[in-house]
Structure 1
Amino acid sequence: MSEVEDLPSLVSIQPEATVSRTVLSEDGLRIVLFAFDKGQVLTEHTAAMPVMLQVSEGRLLITADGRDTELVPGKVIYFSTRLPHTVEAIEPSKMMLSMFDTRQH
């Protein structure tokens, strides 16, 4: 069993920056926390495995599959492997990225 407490406190929003920190890396799952200042962007990219995004603070604009979606606390977005997407901070925000490694070991 692994546990991580008080996730939002483990990253802080920095002026004009995007900050990331891996907080859990276990068989089949990696959790990375991100903190974005307003206006910060992760340009279009893909993930080599399925991922899930959740916001703990703020609002993010997620663009994927030809659609824009606002990600707010309480909402979850799931992407299949290699789906191109962008992330833009509408306001200072904190996000949890869960990466699911489905490859056989």
Structure 2
Amino acid sequence: MEHTTLPVTHIANVRAAATVEPGRLGHSTVLASPGVRVVVLTFEAGFTLKKHSVAKILVMQALDGCLRVTAGGQVTDLVPGALLRLDASVEHEVEAREESRLMLTLIG
């Protein structure tokens, strides 16, 4: 994990430590800095992260695969190239439609 207060931080490959492990949700913090944390979650196909909320603004981006996110009364299929932002404390659920990696940026 990269902890930094430097003015510029470069992480060459956020996927490097994020391998899919059968039967469990993988979790790798790739950056922690004042006001922001970047985490990569790994999901095997069919895994569901049950409804929960986070006290920070969330920006979600699929690195690969397809993730179905249910939040704020809407369902979004998150695929590579797409971005989803949630206000702080919005309840959400994430289901892996296939083996997937999800990059979360937590702000605040």
Into which bin does the TM-score normalised by the smaller protein fall?
over 0.9
> Matched residues in 2 for 1:74 and 1:15: separation?
25
Q: How does 1:14-53 map to 2 (within 5 A)?
A: 14-53=21-60
- Is structure 2 residue 88 aligned with structure 1 residue 72? no
Cα RMSD over matched residues?
A: 0.8
Contact persistence 1:51–1:99 (CA under 8 A): yes
One-letter amino acid matched to 2:38:
I
Alignment gaps of 5+ in structure 1? none
Give the one of 62, 84, 92 matched to 1:55: 62
Matched, 1:100 2:87: no
1:4 matched to 2:11? The reply is: yes
**TM-score when scaled to structure 2?**
0.90
**Contiguous gaps of at least 5 residues in structure 2:** 1-7
Q: TM-score, normalised by structure 1?
A: 0.92
Q: C-alpha distance in 1, partners of 2:21/2:30?
A: 18
